[in-house]
Amino acid sequence: MCEGRRWQTRSREQTVEQTVIDGEINKGKESRVILRSCCNATGEMILTNQNTKSGQKIHYETNQKLFKTVDKKLHSMLPKALPWSKGLLGHCAVVGSGGILQNSSCGAEIDNADYIIRFNLGPVTNSKDVGNKTHLMTINPSQIRGYPNLTKDPQPLANRVAVYGNASLLLPAFSYQFSTGLSLDVYHSLQPLRPNQKVVFFNPNFMLNLDRKWKGQGLKEPRLSTGLMLASVAMELCEEVHIYGFWPFSLDLNHNPLPHHYYDNVGPNKGVHSMPDEFLLLLKLHTQGVLQLHLGRC
């Protein structure tokens, strides 16, 4: 009889545990459906031959009165399809640049993911902490300006991106007008030197819809960070989402000082993003089981 009671107790505990797990899975699925219905990274995150037609007008994200007409040359630069068109991506790692990654020993765990997203040409030299595998890497237009002779001498940029293997390079070519020429220069400069490394462009409509979605839930910053954008993409496209290096504070959880980035201590431009507010949003999603924030040593 006592054995029976113990068995029943364990059974109830297992039921509660399974209910919690199922709740987290359902919350993740719910977020995936919401993001797909509002923003559709599945079919719209980057410009492709499938979602962009020759002769179409691409309106700029930050000024809808301005547009770029897709000519045959631009259309030929777009990929035929999205890299995830065959289904969910599985276990994804979204790797920010926060100083919290220093001495984290998270590199092996990050590299074990099925799909790895990184930002703004973040270095992967310290592979013990940040790993070195990359599938998608963003480039900020301001970084391209660091290569003023790009069209005449593309080798320095080619050498820099070579460390990411054949990762796709993602640029916001149609956020601002000045971004377009810089982004197209990256494409034309790298294509002869690194033909297997795709240069792809954010779809400004996707960025607008994502902006409306999060601002509708209380964010008041002028622009979403690229980090929150790609974390949102991962929430829609991945079965599991693991977030590393997202920590906008100068002290870690044990009150030890941290640099702003794991590779330098250069702070952000003021008045553009609201990183603490974005972090609180991600923390809320973490507590709901939608994603997993990693804030300590691995």
Cα 75 from chain centroid? 24
Q: What Rg, from alpha-carbon coordinates, does the chain have?
A: 21
In 10 A of CB 266, how many CB atoms? 8
Residue type, 135: H
Do 224 and 273 form a contact (C-beta atoms < 8 A)? yes
Do 239 and 90 form a contact (C-beta atoms < 8 A)? yes
SS3 186: helix
Tokens of 28: 């993740």
The dihedral over CA atoms of 143, 146, 149, 150, expressed in degrees to the nearest 10, equals: -20
Considering only CA atoms, which of 84, 137, 85 is closest in space to residue 114? 84
Distance CA 51, CA 80 (A): 9
Set 135, 242, 273, 294: catalytic member: 273
Partner residues linked to 168 by β-bridges: 136
Close Cβ partners of 120 (under 8 Å, ≥ 6 residues apart): 97, 138, 139, 140, 143, 226
Distance CA 231, CA 117 (A): 9
Do 107 and 133 form a contact (C-beta atoms < 8 A)? no
Distance CA 39, CA 249 (A): 29
Q: Check if 242 is active-site.
A: no
Residues that are catalytic? 273
